[in-house]
């Protein structure tokens, strides 16, 4: 009786998640292990060529390196800007803190294509930045700001920054003030209190913000394409290009290379920050 | 602790004849339940006759709630059977069993008014609208809350919420009413008031009830029968007076209130009693033990009488005197260890600390416990 | 020490101002640009006009994409929330390894690179011959389900378990307990889950990128294609503003119905 009810609840979402999430990924992996074919989606022969090609080809490696580089810069900036902002937000009185977080959340609800377009209209040759600089007579000819790796970095960084701020701010706001007070009562200066108490206790927020920003950077195809243009391609662009070229096994292998990067990074962050060790320090 | 025992009128209701007149409304047979490594309920068998209140009494974590939830069907026993009104319900889901329940948190539906809360069970039983309204009215009348029928639970005080929970449970006229520490959240005064009210309501309606509590006074006040539990096992079942006056072991004796324990060796057997040699004196107690056996005797502090040194009894010295309003507590030292005596202040003698006394009691005030040592 | 303190708070204040500007300005620019009277956006704007909105609704493809996006968001948010609610009710009181695994499975699309899911689904759909709209709908359900699941899980776990037992003790079977006790009490969680799923579906890019087809395109994808193939024109600003306006309305609805606190906690 009880288990019949349990299945009634579990079966529909489980079936959806299995059939349209797990199965397609397993299938994609299966396809990544096959040779390509001109007539079929994928060839009959099992092979690891798709992976070895990626790892051997300097073109792909350059792109992988560029992807990681861009992600690292974005992540660094997000942490550098995000932590003080989160600290500021966390110290606000409840009502204003909620307002600030709402202000950070709202942009996340707007489609990324709209936010990327906002940056395009700022950075393009006839965009706001160039026309303002020209009006101020600081430049004569418009600068080529768009279609550069820097454009990708600044746009993606600001698009993803709210995730970092909200993650850290929520952890900080939930921190029991008494930890800091205890440290100060023991004679720690504000700086040392921050370094030895606040910062370690906020690692869960740092970890989840870092993971969100990194994972979302990896698959931000639309932003990368609109701001990076054809010359600043990253790993996702290659996946998209392979799909549009009907190179399914190649696309699949690249997808799993990306997934492997994501997993490796997740493992690294969890091992480095060990957010679990201070979990539950909140109120 | 100052006024132990139920009123004579309540305690005199005997259980035997009633049990024979009516079948048991609830019956547990060898019920066992474990959670992982914890045996929450271990081989419990009880029968609860119609129209009686049965209390499960014991310290926190002893398995009272689990026992109640086994009756309700919220838990499935690992072994044993559960019967309600003679029907085997062991594998029946809760919503098909004939019971209702008052929860410790009251669990009033916050989105429904008082009247809608009380009507809920009648709705589930597809009672016609008119009868439903009448039933709700009557039930609210019984708990004196008709005026608040349209309020929401959050607009009520704790005591009022408790009454709504009770009305909601009795309106469906269940075969058995289960109550899990229903008065635990109330303050002392209100709790005592509700105990009396609950008892009179139960008797007027002839409800069969299982009452879980960790408060010994509450159990003694309310119940026809009490089961004292420890570690999932029922240590003793009996009428309140029986449990209080004739505890079977040291756990039951001390859980129901303060008790003096005196260890000794049986030196002689008489018709219905034994003579025990203790460090201070020889004591005669009702019981049947072999000579030479080590035994432990329990005597309630209010049974202990203190007399001058020229009287017979256990020699002791007064270590401390604590005035407690209606009674005074005397802390004594004796060769058998520390003793405690209560004296009604109305007839308390003028003792001072350091006085030598003799302690005595009526022979039938002492009990020989099972398992000489804990 | 005092000086260090105020330097620290000045740093935080400056960083916050810059950060909010960087986050909000690109969105504001789009809205301002949408009301331009000129062919090109000038700052500060020389006037005010609705011509780009007129043009937006005059373009068949844009209009169709807008309508499809709304239909898709309504349908997928509803399905995703129902399924997420079922999953949350199943897991609310269950513990242990299997429950933890199921929970990760239902939350996975939140952090999983959805672009890869899009590729994988396209491949599957090609193999089994799935029509475009249902395929897109299912993808959006997968992406939206974690939101309904998460908000309902939080609500259901905050619910006193005795309430459901009280329902059963009064004779309500599980289905009736669900409809008469549980759902009315977790309703705010269900509703905010639905609104989040709607918003996510309405702005979704990474799976729609692969799964839209000729004549079946969502607004974000239409904006993206237009930007790629026709270029940055102000009709896009109008389209984007329509997107933003709808979200403003939804956020206001959330605030009215379930309160601001629930939104700020949900992410
Ligand atoms: N659902 C459960 N899961 C695991 N252990 C439980 C559960 N319910 C009760 N227990 C354990 O069973 C024992 C008895 O619990 P309970 O019946 O609630 O005691 P009481 O009501 O007498 O305080 C306790 O050790 C408790 O921790
Ligand atoms: Mg209990």
- C184 contacts in chain B (CB < 8 Å): 111
Q: Give the span between the Cα atoms of A127 and A129, in whole angstroms.
A: 6
Beta-carbon separation of A215 and C120 below 8 A:
no
Q: Is the CB of B44 under 6 A from ligand 1?
A: no
Contacts of B116 in chain C (CB under 8 A): none
User: Lowest-pLDDT range, B16-25, B297-306, C21-30, C195-204?
Assistant: B16-25
DSSP state of A281: -
For the CA of B182, the nearest ligand: 2
Set of chain C residues whose Cβ sits within 8 Å of the Cβ of A199:
none
Residues of chain C numbered 37-76 and touching chain A (CB < 8 Å): 40-43
State the pLDDT at residue B9: 38
**pLDDT > 90 fraction of chain B, expressed in percent and rounded:** 70
Residue C209 confidence class, pLDDT cut points 50, 70, 90: very high
> At residue B374, does pLDDT exceed 80?
no
**CA atoms lying within 13 Å on the CB side of residue B40:** 19
Cα–Cα distance measured from residue A131 to residue B287, given in angstroms and rounded to the nearest whole number: 107
If one compares A184 and C132, the residue with the highest pLDDT of the two is C132
Domain range list for chain A: 46-278
Two tokens at B322? 């604590």
Question: % helix / strand / coil in chain C, to the nearest 5?
Answer: 80, 0, 20
pLDDT digits (tens, 9 = 90+) for C179-190: 999 999 999 899
DSSP code of residue B303: G
Q: A46-278 in CATH: which number?
A: 1.10.3720.10
Give the distance (Å) from ligand 2 centre to CA of residue B238: 21
Whether B335 lines ligand 1, by a CB cut-off of 6 Å, is: no
Most informative mutation of B28, B40, B210, B212 for ligand 1 (most atoms within 8 A of CB) = B40
CB B175 within 8 A of CB B85: yes
Neighbours of B157 (CB within 10 A): 10
Least confident of B88-92, B259-263, C254-258: C254-258
Which is nearest to A27 in space by CA: A261, A251, A215, A221? Answer: A251
pLDDT in tens, A18-37: 999 999 999 999 999 998 88
| pLDDT value, residue B4 | 41
- Residues of chain A positioned with their CB less than 8 A from the CB of C206: 219, 221-222
pLDDT at residue A128 in the model: 85
Query: d(Cα B73, Cα B81) in Å, to the nearest integer?
Result: 11
According to the model, what pLDDT value does residue C48 have? 87
pLDDT of residue B14: 38
B55-84 in b/e form (b: 16+ CB < 10 A) is: bbbbeeebbbbbbbbbbbbbbebeebebbb
In a domain, C6, yes or no: no
* pLDDT tens-digit series, residues A130-166: 888 888 888 888 888 889 989 999 999 999 999 999 9
C-alpha–C-alpha distance, residues C34 and A233, integer Å: 30
**Shortest-distance Cα residue to atom 17 of ligand 1:** B63
Read off the CATH number of the domain in which C170 is found.
1.10.3720.10
Over the stretch A79-124, which tens digit does the pLDDT of each residue have? 999 999 999 999 888 888 888 888 898 999 999 999 999 999 999 8
Give the residue whose CA is nearest to atom 5 of ligand 1: B35
C1 assigned to some structural domain: no
CB-facing half-sphere around the CA of C182: CA atoms within 13 A: 25
* Domain total in chain C: 1
**Among chain C residues, CA nearest to A30:** C120
Closest atom of ligand 1 relative to the B68 alpha carbon: 17
Tokens (6 digits) for B9: 């009128």
Cα dihedral C10, C16, C19, C24, rounded to 10, equals -140
Residues of chain C contacting B178 with CB distance shorter than 8 Å = 169
Q: What is the pLDDT of residue C169?
A: 96
Q: Which of B28, B38, B103 to mutate to test the pocket of ligand 1 (most atoms within 8 A of CB)?
A: B38
For residue B270, report the phi and psi dihedrals to the nearest 5 degrees. -115, -170
Model pLDDT, residue C63: 93
pLDDT band at B55 (very low <50, low <70, confident <90, very high): very high
Tell me whether C93 touches chain A (CB under 8 Å). Answer: no
Of the residues B68, B103, B185, the best mutation for testing chain C's interface (the one with the most C CB atoms within 10 Å of its CB) is B103
Convert the pLDDT of each residue in C239-259 to its tens digit.
999 999 999 998 888 878 777
Closest Cα of chain C to A59: distance in Å?
A: 21
pLDDT of amino acid C85: 97
Task: Give B34 Cα–ligand 1 centroid separation in angstroms.
Answer: 9
Cβ of B76 below 6 Å from ligand 1: no
C-beta of B61 in contact with ligand 1 (< 6 A): yes
Evaluate the omega torsion of the peptide bond into residue C44 and state whether it is cis, within 30 degrees of 0: yes
Q: Is residue C216 part of a domain?
A: yes
CA angle B86, B172, B64 (to 5 degrees): 60
B298 CB within 6 A, ligand 1: no
CA of B62 to the centre of ligand 2 (A): 8
Ligand 1 contact via B69 beta carbon (within 6 Å):
no
Q: Is B37 in the pocket of ligand 1 (CB under 6 A)?
A: no
**pLDDT at res. B3:** 40
Average pLDDT, chain B: 88
Question: pLDDT tens digit string along B144-190?
Answer: 999 999 999 999 999 999 999 999 999 999 999 999 999 988 888 88
Residue ranges in chain A assigned as alpha helix (H): 2-17, 23-32, 49-56, 58-91, 94-109, 112-123, 128-135, 149-174, 177-185, 190-193, 199-201, 203-218, 221-228, 235-244, 248-273
**C-alpha dist (Å) from residue A239 to A60, A265, C111:** 11, 20, 19
Mean of pLDDT values over B133-138: 95
Q: Best of C39, C87, C115 to disrupt the A interface by mutation (most A CBs within 10 Å)?
A: C115
Q: Nearest C-alpha of chain C: how many angstroms from A4?
A: 10
Asked whether B94 lines ligand 1 (CB < 6 A), one says no
Amino acid B372: pLDDT: 45
Coil, strand or helix at B257? coil
Q: Which of B93, B101, B110 sits opposite C185 (nearest CB)?
A: B110
pLDDT for B317 beyond 90: yes
User: With contact defined as beta carbons under 8 Å apart, do B63 and B259 qualify?
Assistant: no
Tell me, what's the pLDDT at A173? 87
**Residue C93 covered by a domain:** yes
Q: How crowded is residue B345: how many other Cβ atoms within 10 Å of its Cβ?
A: 12
Output the pLDDT for position B236. Answer: 95
Minimal Cα distance from A114: which residue of C? C240
State whether residue B13 is helix, strand or coil: coil
Q: Which chains does B contact via 3+ CB–CB distances below 8 A?
A: C
pTM for the model stands at: 0.86
Kindly list the residues from chain A whose CB atom is less than 8 angstroms away from the CB atom of residue C26.
115, 118-119, 121-122, 155, 158
The pLDDT of residue C265: 56
Q: Hey, are the CB atoms on C116 and A102 less than 8 Å from each other?
A: no
Atom of ligand 1 nearest to the CA of B36: 4
Q: Tens digits of per-residue pLDDT, C130-164? A: 999 999 999 999 999 999 999 999 999 999 999 99
Within chain C, how many helices (H) and strands (E) appear?
Answer: 13, 0
Residue nearest ligand 1's atom 7 by CA: B35
Q: Which of C160, C169, C185 sits opposite B72 (nearest CB)?
A: C169
d(CA B165, CA B118): 8
Q: Are B41 and B33 in contact (CB under 8 A)?
A: yes
And the tokens for C180?
């008469």
Six-digit token string for A18: 């299995």
Ligand 1 neighbourhood includes B237 CB (under 6 angstroms): no
Which ligand 1 atom is nearest residue B67's CA? 17
Q: What is the mean pLDDT of residues B232-250?
A: 94
Across the range C28-35, mean pLDDT stands at 92
Average pLDDT over residues B344-373: 81
- DSSP class of residue A264 equals H
Are B213 and B182 in contact by the 8 Å Cβ rule? The answer is: no
* Ligand 1 pocket check for B65: Cβ under 6 Å: yes
The answer to whether position C232 is within a domain reads yes
Q: Which residues of C touch B101 (CB under 8 A)?
A: 165-166, 169
Residue C51 within a domain: no
Report DSSP state, residue C213: B
Give residues 169 to 208 of A whose Cβ lies within 8 Å of C. Answer: 170, 189-191
Question: Which pLDDT value is given to residue C173?
Answer: 94
CA distance A138 to chain C (A): 16
How far, CA to CA in Å, does C54 sit from each of B13, C49, C59, C61, C246?
88, 10, 9, 14, 17
Tell me the ligand closest to B34's alpha carbon. 1
pLDDT, residue B346, reads 61
Q: How many residues does chain B have?
A: 374
- Residue B102 scores a pLDDT above 90: yes
- pLDDT higher than threshold 50 for residue B93: yes
Give domain status of residue C36, yes or no.
no
In chain C, the residue whose alpha carbon lies closest to the alpha carbon of B126 is C171
Distance CA B168, CA B360 (A): 51
Contacts of B120 in chain C (CB under 8 A): 167, 170, 172, 180
| Cα distance from N-terminal residue to C-terminal residue, chain C | 36
Tell me the average pLDDT across A226-251. 91
CB of B159 sitting under 6 A from ligand 1 = no
Q: How far is CA C101 from CA A204, B226, C142, in A?
A: 21, 45, 17
Q: How far apart are CA B344 and CA B349, in angstroms?
A: 10
Which residue, among B75, B96, B109, B166, would best test binding to C if mutated, counting the most C CBs under 10 Å from its CB? B109
Q: Closest-CA residue in chain C for A95? A: C261
Inter-chain contact A21–C126, Cβ cutoff 8 Å? no
| C169 in a structural domain | yes
Distance of alpha carbon B130 from the chain centroid: 39
Res B15 pLDDT > 60 = no
Contact B114, B153 (CB under 8 A): yes
Mean pLDDT score, A203-209: 92
């Amino acid at each position: 009786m009880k288990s019949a009810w349990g299945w009634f609840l579990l079966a529909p979402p489980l079936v959806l998640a299995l059939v349209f999430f797990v199965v397609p990924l397993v299938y994609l992996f299966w396809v990544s292990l096959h040779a390509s074919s001109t007539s079929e989606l994928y060839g009959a022969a099992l092979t690891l060529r798709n992976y070895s090609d990626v790892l051997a080809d300097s073109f792909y490696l350059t792109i992988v390196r560029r992807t990681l580089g861009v992600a690292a810069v974005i992540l660094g900036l997000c942490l550098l800007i995000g932590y003080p902002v989160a600290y500021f937000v966390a110290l606000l009185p409840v009502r204003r803190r909620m307002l600030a977080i709402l202000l950070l959340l709202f942009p996340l609800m707007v489609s990324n294509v709209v936010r990327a377009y906002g940056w395009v209209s700022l950075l393009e040759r006839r965009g706001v930045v160039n026309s303002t600089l020209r009006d101020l007579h600081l430049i004569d000819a418009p600068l080529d700001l768009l279609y550069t790796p820097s454009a990708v970095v600044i746009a993606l960084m600001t698009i993803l920054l709210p995730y970092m701020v909200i993650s850290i701010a929520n952890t900080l706001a939930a921190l029991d003030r008494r930890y800091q007070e205890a440290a100060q009562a023991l004679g720690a200066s504000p700086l040392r209190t921050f370094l030895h108490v606040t910062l370690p206790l906020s690692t869960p927020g740092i970890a989840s913000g870092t993971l969100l920003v990194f994972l979302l950077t990896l698959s931000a195809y639309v932003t990368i394409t609109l701001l990076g243009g054809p010359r600043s391609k990253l790993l996702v662009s290659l996946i998209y290009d392979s799909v549009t070229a009907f190179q399914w096994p190649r696309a699949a292998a690249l997808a799993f290379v990306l997934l492997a990067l994501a997993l490796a990074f997740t493992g690294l962050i969890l091992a480095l920050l060990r957010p679990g060790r201070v979990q539950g320090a909140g109120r | 602790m100052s006024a132990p025992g139920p009123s004579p009128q309540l305690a005199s209701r005997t259980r035997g004849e009633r049990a024979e007149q009516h079948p048991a409304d609830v019956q547990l047979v060898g019920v066992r339940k474990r959670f992982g490594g914890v045996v929450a309920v271990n081989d419990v068998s009880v029968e609860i006759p119609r129209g009686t209140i049965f209390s499960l009494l014991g310290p926190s974590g002893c398995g009272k709630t689990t026992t109640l939830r086994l009756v309700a069907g919220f838990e499935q026993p690992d072994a044993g059977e559960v019967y309600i009104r003679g029907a085997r319900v062991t594998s029946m889901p809760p919503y098909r069993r004939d019971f209702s329940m008052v929860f410790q948190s009251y669990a009033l539906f916050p989105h429904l008014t008082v009247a809608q809360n009380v009507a809920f069970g009648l709705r589930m039983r597809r009672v016609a609208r008119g009868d439903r309204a009448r039933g709700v009215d009557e039930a609210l009348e019984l708990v004196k809350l008709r005026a608040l029928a349209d309020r929401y639970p959050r607009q009520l005080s704790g005591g009022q919420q408790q009454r709504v929970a009770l009305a909601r449970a009795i309106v469906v006229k269940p075969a058995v009413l289960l109550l899990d520490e229903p008065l635990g959240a109330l303050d002392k005064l209100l709790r005592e008031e509700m105990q009396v009210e609950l008892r009179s309501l139960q008797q007027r309606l002839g409800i069969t009830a299982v009452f879980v509590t960790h408060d010994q006074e509450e159990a003694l006040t309310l119940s026809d029968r009490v089961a004292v539990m420890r570690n999932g096992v029922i240590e003793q079942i009996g009428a309140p007076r029986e449990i209080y006056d004739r505890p079977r072991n040291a756990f039951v004796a001390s859980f129901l209130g303060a008790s003096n324990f005196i260890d000794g060796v049986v030196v002689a057997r008489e018709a219905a009693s034994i003579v025990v040699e203790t460090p201070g004196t020889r004591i005669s107690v009702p019981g049947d033990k072999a000579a030479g056996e080590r035994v432990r005797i329990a005597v309630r502090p209010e049974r202990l009488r203190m007399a001058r040194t020229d009287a017979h009894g256990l020699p002791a010295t007064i270590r401390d005197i604590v005035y407690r309003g209606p009674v005074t507590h005397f802390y004594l030292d004796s060769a058998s260890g520390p003793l405690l005596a209560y004296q009604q202040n109305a007839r308390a003698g003028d003792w001072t600390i350091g006085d030598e006394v003799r302690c005595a009691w009526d022979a039938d005030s002492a009990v020989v416990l099972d398992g000489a040592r804990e | 020490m005092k000086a260090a303190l105020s330097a620290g708070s000045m740093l935080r204040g400056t960083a916050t101002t810059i950060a909010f500007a960087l986050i909000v300005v690109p969105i504001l620019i789009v809205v301002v640009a949408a009301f331009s009277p000129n062919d090109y956006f000038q700052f500060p704007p020389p006037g005010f006009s609705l011509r780009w909105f007129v043009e937006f609704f005059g373009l068949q493809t844009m209009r169709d994409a807008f309508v499809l996006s709304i239909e898709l968001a309504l349908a997928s948010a509803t399905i995703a929330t129902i399924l997420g609610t079922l999953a949350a009710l199943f897991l609310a009181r269950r513990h242990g390894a299997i429950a933890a695994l199921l929970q990760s499975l239902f939350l996975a699309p939140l952090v999983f690179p959805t672009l890869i899911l899009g590729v994988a689904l396209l491949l599957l759909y090609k193999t089994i011959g799935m029509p475009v709209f249902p395929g897109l709908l299912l993808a959006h359900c997968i992406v939206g389900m974690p939101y309904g699941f998460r908000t309902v899980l939080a609500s259901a776990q905050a619910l006193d378990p005795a309430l459901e037992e009280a329902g059963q003790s009064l004779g309500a079977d599980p289905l009736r307990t669900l409809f008469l006790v549980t759902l009315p009490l977790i309703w705010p969680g269900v509703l905010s889950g639905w609104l989040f799923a709607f918003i996510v579906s309405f702005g979704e890019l990474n799976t729609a990128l692969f799964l839209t087809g000729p004549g079946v395109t969502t607004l974000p994808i239409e904006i993206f294609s237009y930007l790629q193939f026709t270029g940055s024109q102000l009709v896009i600003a109008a389209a984007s503003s329509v997107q933003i306006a709808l979200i403003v309305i939804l956020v206001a609805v959330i605030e009215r119905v379930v309160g601001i606190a629930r939104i700020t906690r949900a992410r």
